[in-house]
Amino acid sequence: MTDNNLVLEIKDFSFTYASADAPSLKKINLPIEENKITAMIGPSGCGKSTLLRAMNRIHDLYPGNKYEGEINLYREAQEKENILHLKKENDFIKLRQEVGMIFQKPTPFPMSIFDNVAYGLKLAGLKNKTELKDRVEKALKDAAIWKETKDRLNQSALGMSGGQQQRLCIARAVALKPRVLLFDEPTSALDPISTGAIEELISEIKSEVSMVIVTHNMQQASRLSDYTAFMYLGDMVEYDKTENIFLNPKEKLTEEYITGRFG
């Protein structure tokens, strides 16, 4: 593995919540490869969400958390930036435009479908009406919900089904052309058909964006991802190509987890 195709690189990252005495993450190391899907698995409470939420500094909405280590974001010319050093609101905004996030429950904003997708673009300063329209259309097409939405762009996004809302949220994030998308159990609130649609969508946008996906669904991790990281009690137990993790894990703990003996 060379550093050439990394988009994010987590080095010796430890994290302690403001209200907690013990760290929730202990010296985590994890590379995130460009245009690949990295799955994070592990039993509840092992720190998957905590790690994911460090990658766009969304933790920083709440004061008092303590962390150390490095999370490097690689930009075009191989230059890297430790995002843990960011302090200014403007830098956070820029980071979050580059590193998008999709949550467990769909989170449409209380506005129209069009405005939901245009929202991030408008925040980023895009004002030109035709360009906005084009970008929104492209994002909805990329997220494979253009057909369902093109006749109701001006209706409230709250009237869509859960699965459609989640795809809208992905479209909304994709519209910003992020370098990385973080998914925290994006399908665990959805029915199997919507889940299938989301999975298909995720593998389709892989050519454009690198993705990290937290999931409790082993099949999902093995179907979708190129790399898998297994975490346990705040430790990164094992990280490898997905087929190795599922077929030939090095650690006993990993094997026990994926064969369903605990967790």
Partner 1 sequence: MSGKLFRNFSFLSATLSFFILVGIFAVLFTYAQDAMHEFGFDFLFNETWEADEDDEGGIFGGFIPIIGTLLSTLIAMLIATPLAMGISIFLTEIASETIAKPVSIAIELLAAIPSIIYGMWGLFYFAPIVHDIFGGNGVGLLTAGIVLAIMIIPFMAAITRDSMNTTPQVLKESAYAMGATKFEVIKDVVMPYAKGGIIGSIILALGRALGETMAVAFLIGSVMSLPGKITDPTTSIPVLLANNFAEAQDLEMSSMYFLALILFVVSFFIISIAKFYFLGKPVKVKK
Task: State the binding string over 29-68 for Mg ion (x if CB under 5 A, else -).
Answer: --------------------x-------------------
78: left (phi over 0), alpha (psi -120 to 50) or beta: left
- Rule CB under 8 A: which of 34-63 touch partner 1? 56, 58, 61, 63
Site string for ligand ATP, 14-33 (x = CB under 6 A): ---x-xx---x---------
Residue 72 touches Mg ion, criterion: CB under 5 A:
no
- Work out the number of other CB atoms within 10 angstroms of the CB of residue 65: 17
Q: Which does 20 bind (CB under 5 to 8 A by kind): Mg ion, partner 1, ligand ATP, none?
A: ligand ATP
SS3 194: helix
Buried b (16+ CB within 10 A) or exposed e, 26-50: bebebbbbeebbbbbbbeeebbbbb
Q: Which stretch binds ligand ATP (CB under 6 A): 44-52, 94-102, 198-206, 255-263?
A: 44-52
* The Cα angle at residue 44 between residues 14 and 58, in degrees rounded to 5: 50
Q: Which does 24 bind (CB under 5 to 8 A by kind): ligand ATP, Mg ion, partner 1, none?
A: ligand ATP
Q: What single-letter DSSP state applies at residue 191? A: -
Other CB atoms within 10 Å distance of the CB of residue 129: 9
Residues that bind partner 1 (CB under 8 A): 56, 58, 61, 63, 89, 93-94, 96-97, 100-101, 103-107, 109-111, 119-120, 123-124, 158, 160-162, 165, 169, 172-173, 176
